Amino acid sequence: MNWESAAFDAIVVGGGHNGLVAAARLAGEGKRVLVAEAGSHTGGAAVTSEITPGYSVPAVAHLLEGFPRRIERKLKLARHGLRYAARNVATVALDRDGKHLLLPRTRKEFAAFREALPKDAEAYREYVAHRRALAGLVAPLLGERPPELADPDAFRRFLRRSVWRAMLKGGSTMQSLLRVLPEAIGDRLDVEFESPLLKGALAFDATLGGAEGPYAPGTSFRAILREATRLQGQGACLPAGGMGALADALAAAIVASGGEIRLDTEVSRFLVEEGKATGIVLSSGVEIRAPLVLSAISPSVTMLE
Ligand SMILES: Cc1cc2nc3c(=O)[nH]c(=O)nc-3n(C[C@H](O)[C@H](O)[C@H](O)COP(=O)(O)OP(=O)(O)OC[C@H]3O[C@@H](n4cnc5c(N)ncnc54)[C@H](O)[C@@H]3O)c2cc1C
């Protein structure tokens, strides 16, 4: 086996947007970081590809939603070239007769919405307020390190903190959240609304990115989780230049802080000593060690393969 003597404080495996954010934060804190990316571009699914000469489009993911503003600011991504072609993009349900329905974002849009759906408008306002209140309970958990399940004290502290936070928001909100957890979004929408267009748009929000239909248990909570990610980020945005532009800005932030990104560099194995990851082995056979090794690829590949 070949050794590489270059000294790194941290190795990030996988240069998708999650790996890039982790690497940029570590590099920003002065760590010498290596990103090992198997593909020939950074970004993973956040990629812009030229599909025919002169036409480039987001090839997989296309909407940036819920990307925490604090991360965007901390990494100074605007300075590294991130611009938006559109922010807070609306959800529109298309109608066969041309009476399309836009989910309102402003008072003016709400007035038009109320005119189109007088029976559903007030229920919609209440639905949104309720969903936001529940999302407010979930949002603070998103940025937290999950509790160590093997450490009962840490788990207890985590539960106590979460319950306190919920109580501060009012016990009934917590009860509502528990009621919503197993619910199917389709059942909820059938109770609340009449318009199939409105129900379709809201069910889409709750099932996007998942494999279940709107009558699958647990899909109501998906709508809340999505709202929670929005609370810490922004509405759906289109980066100018497609999702690849986000990856480019993150990569620029890493390089500006002295980090190194290696493309076409596949990791075939993690080195583990005494239960701790201590380095990586590339498919070329080269071994690289670092005190911190972070996997930003699929957990099943990381743990099982
Ligand atoms: C069709 C589709 C559409 C989607 N649309 C959206 C959307 O519009 N908006 C949105 O927010 N999300 C969307 N998603 C979800 C989003 O793409 C993922 O959540 C996101 O890509 C996860 O990022 P990641 O960095 O964790 O992983 P990935 O983007 O999968 O990146 C992982 C990286 O690791 C690299 N890698 C893998 N194995 C190795 C190895 N052994 N050694 C070195 N490198 C390795 C890969 O080459 C890849 O670059 C979509 C997903 C799909 C499938």
Q: What is the pLDDT of residues 90-141, one digit of tens each?
A: 999 999 999 999 999 999 999 999 999 999 999 999 999 999 988 988 888 8
More confident residue, 115 or 4: 115
Cα(233)–Cα(81) distance, integer angstroms: 19
How many A from CA of 45 to the centre of ligand 1?
4
Residue 217's pLDDT is what? 95
Arithmetic mean of pLDDT over the chain: 92
Rounded mean pLDDT, 253-259: 98
What is the Cα–Cα distance from 300 to 305, expressed in whole angstroms?
A: 7
CA-nearest residue for atom 53, ligand 1, is 60
Q: 60-69, 142-151, 180-189, 214-223: lowest mean pLDDT where? A: 142-151
Task: Give 79's pLDDT tier (boundaries 50, 70, 90).
Answer: very high
Residue 138 is predicted with a pLDDT of 87
Task: Decide the pairing of beta strands 292-295 and 10-13.
Answer: parallel
Answer whether residue 174 shows pLDDT above 80.
no
Q: Which CATH number fits domain 2-61+241-304: 3.30.420.40, 3.40.50.2300, 3.50.50.60, 3.30.1490.100?
A: 3.50.50.60
- Give the number of the atom of ligand 1 that is nearest the alpha carbon of residue 58: 8
Looking at residue 81, its amino acid is G
The pLDDT of 146-166, averaged and rounded, is 83
Name the percent of the chain lying above pLDDT 90: 74
Q: Between the ranges 15-29, 61-75, 178-192, 199-213, where is the mean pLDDT highest? A: 15-29
- Mutation test of ligand 1: which of 11, 25, 35, 37 has the most ligand atoms closer than 8 Å to its C-beta? 37
User: In this structure, which residue's CA is closest to atom 25 in ligand 1?
Assistant: 16
How far is Cα 131 from Cα 173, in angstroms, rounded to an integer?
A: 10
Nearest CA to ligand 1 atom 32: 16
Could you tell me the distance, in angstroms and rounded to a whole number, from the CA of residue 152 to the centre of ligand 1? 33
Substitution candidate for ligand 1 out of 11, 12, 17, 57 with most atoms within 8 A of CB: 17
Task: Kindly list the distances between the CA atom of residue 175 and the CA atoms of 113, 119, 277, 280, in Å, as whole numbers in the listed order.
Answer: 30, 28, 41, 46
pLDDT bin (cut points 50, 70, 90) of residue 293 is very high
Predicted local confidence at residue 136, as pLDDT: 87
Mean pLDDT in residue range 155-170? 80
Torsions phi, psi of 83, nearest 5?
-130, 160
**What is residue 1's predicted lDDT score, i.e. its pLDDT?**
58
d(CA 247, ligand 1 centre) in Å: 11
**What atom of ligand 1 comes closest to residue 296's alpha carbon?**
26
Q: 0.75 exceeded by the pTM?
A: yes
Give the distance (Å) from ligand 1 centre to CA of residue 38.
Answer: 12
Q: Which of 11, 21, 35, 60 to mutate to test the pocket of ligand 1 (most atoms within 8 A of CB)?
A: 60
Report the separation in Å between the CA atom of 246 and the middle of ligand 1, taken as the mean of its atom positions. Answer: 13
CA 300 – ligand 1 centroid, Å: 14
Q: Whose CA is nearest to atom 38 of ligand 1?
A: 297
Structure confidence at residue 171 as a pLDDT band (50, 70, 90): low
CA distances 275 to 13, 92, 267, 269, 272, Å, are 18, 50, 19, 15, 6
Distance (angstroms) between ligand 1 centre and the Cα of 46 equals 7
Residue 256 predicted with pLDDT over 90: yes
Specify the residue with its C-alpha closest to ligand 1, atom 12.
61
Minimum mean pLDDT range among 93-97, 176-180, 244-248: 176-180
Q: What is the pLDDT of residue 165?
A: 78
- At residue 127, the pLDDT reads 95
Query: What is the mean predicted confidence (pLDDT) over 187-203?
Result: 96
Average pLDDT over residues 53-67: 92
pLDDT above 80: residue 230: yes
What are the residue ranges spanned by the domains of the chain?
2-61+241-304, 92-233
